[in-house]
Amino acid sequence: MAEPVIHLQDLCKTYRVPEREPGMRAALGSLFHRKMKEVKAVDGLTFDLARGEMVGFLGPNGAGKTTTLKMLSGLLHPTGGEVKVLGSIPWKRERDYLRQITLVMGQRSQLVWDIPAADSFELNRVIYRLPVVDYQRTLKELTDLLELGPLLSKPVRNLSLGERMKCEIAAALLHRPQVVFLDEPTIGLDVTMQRRIRSFLSEYNQRYEATILLTSHYMADVEALSRRVIVIHHGKLLFDGDLAKLVQKFTAHKTIIVQLGDCSADLHSYGEVINCEAGRWTLRVPKDRTARITEKLLADLPVIDLLVEDPPIEEVIDLVFTQGSS
């Protein structure tokens, strides 16, 4: 079997943070000796990624996702366990290693604010020592795929959030990294832009056989991009496997939203009524009966509109956590 591109074994990261009780006395006391508290951000993670895999990395805020990505990219030093990416130890940040990876952070920017993205791209070309021919070819591909054309010549500060994010991603991929870490790349973007970035990422993944690990809050991201998901909570692994299995395993329900004329009807016989506002009913139904109930609703009632939804990722994850920790 080929060696995994990303390998984690019992990876740990413990932060030491100063701890202080509220109040004057404690404030004075902390002048002399600071009490430190240990916080386990990542607590014994083990998983492997093979070449060309695209994996969704899920967990609630503070679960340790960003900390893990930072350890993988080389920004953070682990406090325990083993981590290897492309055969290198990330935190050594050897130049040959850095040339093969990239980290995109949805909430951070590497582009120079005052100048057009094209100028920042040129700077990256020189920093990564890219031959001009290769660089121009990659730039052209990225420009086409992400539809960057008119954006490249505008100062970055004049771009919208979504436009800037596309440029951020392009800047991070100009050196064609084999391993791509993305931390919330679609955060705050509208649905169209999210979709564009998603389709781009899967295109990049297939075209270059790049290994991609991404975190996201949006179920749609994860559903569209990765078959495999890794879920962590309190720094520990909760689930590692097929997305379909995750949803199946942890959610037995779907949500049906029915638009009727008003809220006067009684829909309790169809499923659990969550609420009704201005004729818009939200029902929770067992997953295996969704089709039949939908059919029945359409046949029985003057339905204006009907929508069947998977529970949002937060809900699925919530279920994973409650069931996982019990």
Partner 1 sequence: MTPGSEIRHLFRLYGQQFKTTFASMVQYRASLVIWMISQVLEPLIYLIVWSTVSNGSGGSVGGYTARGFAAYYLVFMVVNQFTYTWIMWEYEYRVRQGYLSFALLKPVHPIHSDISDNLSSKLLTLPIILIVAGIMALIFRPTASMTLWSGLVFIPALILAFLVRFLVEWTLALAAFWTTRVNAINQVYFVMMLFLAGQIAPLSLFPAWIQTIANILPFRWMLGFPVQLLLGQLTPVQTLEGLVAQVAWVIASLVLLRVAWRAGVRVYSAVGG
DSSP state of 289: G
C-alpha to C-alpha distance for 298 and 5, rounded to whole angstroms: 50
Q: Of residues 12-41, which lie at the interface with partner 1 (CB under 8 A)? A: 15
Q: Is residue 101 a contact residue for partner 1 (CB under 8 A)?
A: yes
Min. distance of Cβ 158 from partner 1 in angstroms? 11
Strands 179-183, 211-215: pairing is parallel
Q: Is 114 in the site for partner 1 (CB under 8 A)?
A: yes
Task: Pick between residue 83 and residue 320 the one whose CB is nearest to partner 1.
Answer: 83
DSSP 160-178: -HHHHHHHHHHHHHTT--S
Token couple for 176: 């064609």
CB of 215 to partner 1, least distance (A): 15
Please check whether residue 59 is in contact with residue 317, taking contact to mean a CB–CB distance below 8 angstroms.
yes
Question: Under the criterion CB under 8 A, does residue 116 sit at the interface with partner 1?
Answer: yes
128/208 with CB nearer partner 1: 128
| Whole-number Å distance between alpha carbons of 236 and 43 | 5
Closer residue to partner 1 in complex, CB, 58/117 = 117
Tell how strand 179-183 and strand 35-49 pair up: unpaired
Single-letter amino acid code for the residue at 250: F
Of positions 53, 72, 102, 253, contacts partner 1 by CB under 8 A: 102
Report 70-99 residues binding partner 1 (CB under 8 A).
70, 73-77, 91, 93, 95-96, 98-99
CA-wise closest residue to 81 among 53, 3, 72: 72
Residues that bind partner 1 (CB under 8 A): 15, 67, 70, 73-77, 91, 93, 95-96, 98-99, 101-103, 105, 107-108, 110, 112, 114-116, 119-120, 122-123, 125-129, 155
